[in-house]
Chain A
Amino acid sequence: MQEGFIKEGFTQESLLDETHLKEQKQMESDLNSDTSHQSSVDYLMNWFRKRSIFVLAYGTGCGAIEMPPTFTSRYDAERLGIRGAATPRQADVIIVSGYCSYKTLRRIIRTYEQMSNPKYVLALGSCTINGGMYWDSYNTIKKLEEYLPVDMYVNGCMPRPESILEGFIALQKEIAEGKASSWQKYEENYEFYRKNQEAVLGSKVAPAYDADWYLYDGGL
């Protein structure tokens, strides 16, 4: 991110001053993306999805501690249209913040499957990429993407709020371009993900995921 972000910005006195506003413009210009290949309806829908992101911040590991500053006054993610969601039903993005033990993975999968399409996964920290410092642990997963489709990784141990914001901006760009389609990937390759989930969770794996719930009992 820009140099001023770390050096000058965010002292109590400089809030809402010129540096801050310049930075805001810079971040918004980062959002400009190549959308020429989309139809106008898709373009419009994706633009609204980009501008409004409800986040389910799932505090699985140490990365959870970086999220409160990201969403509150100091880094203020709301200026980019990013805000917290109360329940999975209302959320667009789930943040998996750091290592996940098998026990937590079960909950993450259940939570992810409760979210409504289109939904995205943002993974924080090295632990979700390759296990990080838990590379030889007996009860954590090493690569999150074997169990859930990940749209965007934010590297670091732990990533600072600046990085998380940059990860969000990159995700927003993908959403605007229509490239963030991991939820379709999950439905298409469900057998692959299910097999991996069963391998680590055994009999405690979640009930099978129905993307077409409305055709079955309890539906319309």
Chain B
Amino acid sequence: MIIFDLLGMLLTAYFVGFLYYGLYRNITARFQRRIGPTVLQSFFDSIKFFSKDESTSHGWMFYLGPVIMTTGAVMTLFFIPFFYESESFRGLSQYGNLFVVLYLIMLGPLGNAMGVGVSGSPFAAMGITRGLTRMFAMELPFYIAVIALMSINHSADIATIAANQTTINAFAYPLLFIGALFSFIAMMGNSPFDVVGAPVEVYSGPAAEFSGKFLGLLMSQSSIMSFAKLVLMVNLFLGGAGGFIELLVKTFILFLFVIAFGSIYGRFKTPQSVDFLVKVPTAIAVAGLLLATLGGQ
């Protein structure tokens, strides 16, 4: 039954996502030599927000913002298979390929931009502007890497790309992997590319006007989306996963790398992050693309 399959995927992403975010805060705390919150802290936060009232309204479009964003996250998750050769936990992936996923990843932020726009909050508008500016830059190296993978495998099917790796793609095509990894750090909203929700600059940016249940919804979608992106990256570059344990280990290693990277570097300004993403990772990814396609002939 596909319904149970989808529900299983959603619940896994929800709980593992929150667990990872709890670990993120805990590990960052250890980096800073303090005890830090419990692993379930992010989960507590989200439940607390669901138990609060809203304090404001800017009309129905304002409320649709988080809903569209959550829809985007959940749909992205459904089109990414968890395992490369398994009947279960593959969701809707047989109905849509990598192109659909790349489109859906961008759907949420664009929908949220409309919802946030009607709130009229200058900080929210600044956050959205920063997000969209960064998005154009971070898509570039990631898309180049993904296009290269698709042309190498002669397929846009995620499960096929995941299953086709005798040596995992990260080692077989290191330049593509490095280029995509920079984009991935930006996609996860991590330092040094965390310009969108910077709390001391734009007061949490797009989330500035949201309170109560809608903030809880935004937190939930962000943990689901993070897990979806981690699974996508594992499928594309780390050889996919045959079972749950392999999936958790691989996603966690990737996540740990992103955390560690973010703990070391400070935040770029928006133009700096765009400059960097358009120059360095893009150049690396283009070099990887040329090497992979020319070397194959």
Contact = CB atoms under 8 A, between A and B. Distances in A.
B258 interface: no
30 contacts: A15-B34, A16-B35, A20-B35, A21-B35, A48-B48, A51-B44, A52-B41, A73-B33, A73-B34, A76-B36, A78-B25, A78-B36, A79-B29, A81-B41, A86-B199, A86-B203, A89-B55, A89-B208, A89-B210, A89-B215, A90-B204, A90-B207, A92-B48, A114-B56, A115-B211, A116-B212, A118-B52, A213-B56, A214-B54, A214-B57
Contacts of B35: 16, 20-21, 24, 76, 79
Interface residues of B, number: 36
Interface in B5-45: 25, 29-30, 32-38, 41, 44-45
Given A90-B204, A115-B55, A76 B48 contact: no
A86 B204 contact: yes
Contacts of A88: 55
A218 B36 contact: no
B95 interface: no
Interface string A112-126: 001111100000000
Given A16-B35, A73-B33, A89 B56 contact: yes
B47 interface: yes
B51 interface: yes
Contacts of B215: 89-90
A27 to B, nearest CB: 11
A86 B126 CA distance: 15
Interface in A26-50: 45, 48-49
Interface residues of A, number: 34
A21 B36 CA distance: 11
Contacts of B41: 51-52, 78, 81
A87 interface: yes
Nearest to A89: B211
Interface of A: 15-16, 20-21, 24, 45, 48-49, 51-52, 54, 73, 76, 78-79, 81, 83-84, 86-90, 92, 114-118, 213-214, 218-220
A77 to B, nearest CB: 10
B204 to A, nearest CB: 4
A116 B54 contact: yes
A90 B211 CA distance: 5
Given A15-B34, A89-B211, A52 B48 contact: yes
B60 A220 contact: yes
B273 to A, nearest CB: 20
Interface string B197-221: 0010001100111111001000000
Given A116-B211, A214-B54, 15 more contacts: A48-B47, A51-B48, A73-B32, A73-B34, A78-B37, A78-B41, A79-B37, A81-B41, A87-B204, A89-B208, A89-B215, A118-B52, A214-B57, A218-B58, A219-B57
Contacts of B30: 16
A15 B36 CA distance: 12
A76 B208 CA distance: 25
A91 B209 CA distance: 11
A87 B121 CA distance: 11
A117 B210 CA distance: 13
A117 B52 contact: yes
Contacts of A79: 29, 34-37
A216 to B, nearest CB: 10
A219 B30 CA distance: 44
Name, among B25, B32, B35, the residue most crowded by chain A CB atoms within 10 Å (CB to CB).
B35
A172 B240 CA distance: 45
A78 B29 contact: yes
Q: Ordered nearest first, which 5 A-B pairs have the shortest CB separation?
A: A116-B55, A86-B204, A89-B211, A76-B34, A116-B211
Given A86-B203, A87-B208, A116-B53, A81 B58 contact: no
Nearest to A80: B37
Given A20-B35, A24-B35, A48 B29 contact: no
Given A16-B35, A73-B33, A86 B57 contact: no
B57 A213 contact: yes
A4 to B, nearest CB: 15
Interface in B53-69: 53-60
